[in-house]
């Protein structure tokens, strides 16, 4: 994959997704300038709408329905995109919260709750898609999905050309790898993972994507059990180490985003913000940092207070 794939996705997605705001925060003494990319305001509540829509548009109407497996945000994106394009959506949910299941159903998806490994669920989805002549949209390991997610990076470069670092939470790696393609030559991507979901860290250590145990408060969005092969191919040459943040740091970041900036985001988005609060990442003295707040599909009853 190259940056040209992301540029093509941006043209295709014009009119189908929101160009989300980039908000530069008030400067603080002794800290680099920081802005937040508000993908939490995307149509389905997360950046996932970009990749799902790009993949479905590329299908050019060959299928009447779409199938996905998801912990929530990808399923929501598929549901929103399918409804807009007049298609049915079936989502096989694993690890999804009751709140996200309700959101997917409200967006028009038929939700099937299943347990099993990712390979088992993938096989089940592929079988269902074949039997129902539907399009299967993978949550992250699909070039069209990665290219769609990368349009976040194109917007960041356009909105703040001075950016030097883009901080992104990693699950399956679709967003981080897409953004890395988009900002190549202009900024570096800084990947962040919860301690409980270390897919990229494990892949870098092993020299390839490997299965990991996942859990914790961000698992419904970042709980891929294995980094995508596309993400590894893009990120491994660029990243030497991954900053890992603990549960308490994620909750503190989620609370700060609400109390200081009135931004209600889910733990996955707070994961990226948490990394800017500590000293684990080295930024240059003239750094211009953008933190991607990737989603807002949080149950209001669980917000940190």
* Ranges under pLDDT 70 in the chain: 301-305
Q: Looking at the chain, which runs of residues are DSSP E strands?
A: 22-24, 33-37, 65-70, 88-93, 110-113, 135-136, 165-169, 188-194, 243-245, 288-292
Boundary of a domain, candidates 91, 106, 136: 136
* Residue 68 and residue 122 in one domain: yes
Q: What is the pLDDT of residue 178?
A: 98
* Residue 102 and residue 76 in one domain: yes
| DSSP codes of every residue in 275-289 | TTTSSSS---TT-EE
Q: What is the pLDDT of residue 257?
A: 94
Boundary of a domain, candidates 82, 105, 136: 136
Report the alpha-carbon distance of residue 110 to residue 105 in Å, rounded.
6
* Residue 35 and residue 148 in one domain: yes
Q: What is the pLDDT of residue 119?
A: 73
* Residue 162 and residue 224 in one domain: yes
Q: What is the pLDDT of residue 75?
A: 92
* Residue 224 and residue 150 in one domain: yes
* Residue 57 and residue 149 in one domain: no
* Residue 40 and residue 71 in one domain: no
User: Taking the mean position of all CA atoms in its chain, how far away is CA 88?
Assistant: 23
Domain span at residue 64 reads: 48-136
Q: What is the pLDDT of residue 305?
A: 47
* Residue 181 and residue 231 in one domain: yes
* Residue 42 and residue 61 in one domain: no
Q: What angle do CA 3, 164, 248 make, to 5 degrees?
A: 105
Q: What is the pLDDT of residue 250?
A: 94
Q: At 117, which CATH number?
A: 3.40.50.1100
* Residue 36 and residue 59 in one domain: no
* Residue 289 and residue 223 in one domain: yes
* 262 SS3 class: coil
* Residue 86 and residue 215 in one domain: no
Report how many domains make up the chain. 2
């Amino acid at each position: 994959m190259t940056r040209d794939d992301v540029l093509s996705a941006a043209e295709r997605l014009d009119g189908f997704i929101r160009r989300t705001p980039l908000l530069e925060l008030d400067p603080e003494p002794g800290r680099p300038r920081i802005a937040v990319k508000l993908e939490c305001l995307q149509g389905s509540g997360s950046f996932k709408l970009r990749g799902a829509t790009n993949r479905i548009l590329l299908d050019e109407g060959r299928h009447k329905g779409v199938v996905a497996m998801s912990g929530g945000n990808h399923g929501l994106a598929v549901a929103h995109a399918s409804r807009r394009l007049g298609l049915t959506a079936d989502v096989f949910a694993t690890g999804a919260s009751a709140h996200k299941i309700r959101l997917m159903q409200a967006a028009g998806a038929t939700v099937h709750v299943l347990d099993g490994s990712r390979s088992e669920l993938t096989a089940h989805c592929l079988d269902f898609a074949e039997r129902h002549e539907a399009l299967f949209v993978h949550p992250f390991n699909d070039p069209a999905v990665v290219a769609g997610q990368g349009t976040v990076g194109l917007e960041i470069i356009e909105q703040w050309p001075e950016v030097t670092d883009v901080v992104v939470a990693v699950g399956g790696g679709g967003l981080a790898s897409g953004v890395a393609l988009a900002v190549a030559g202009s900024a570096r991507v800084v990947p962040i993972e919860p301690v409980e979901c270390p897919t990229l860290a494990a892949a870098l250590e092993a020299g390839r994507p490997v299965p990991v145990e996942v859990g914790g408060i961000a698992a419904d969005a970042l709980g891929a059990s294995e980094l995508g092969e596309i993400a590894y191919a893009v990120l491994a040459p660029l990243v030497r180490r991954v900053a890992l943040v603990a549960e308490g740091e994620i909750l503190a970041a989620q609370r700060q985003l609400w109390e200081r900036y009135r931004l209600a985001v889910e733990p996955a988005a707070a994961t990226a913000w948490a990394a800017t609060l500590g000293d684990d990442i080295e930024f240059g003295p003239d750094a211009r940092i953008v933190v991607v707040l990737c989603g807002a599909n949080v149950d209001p009853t669980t917000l940190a207070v």
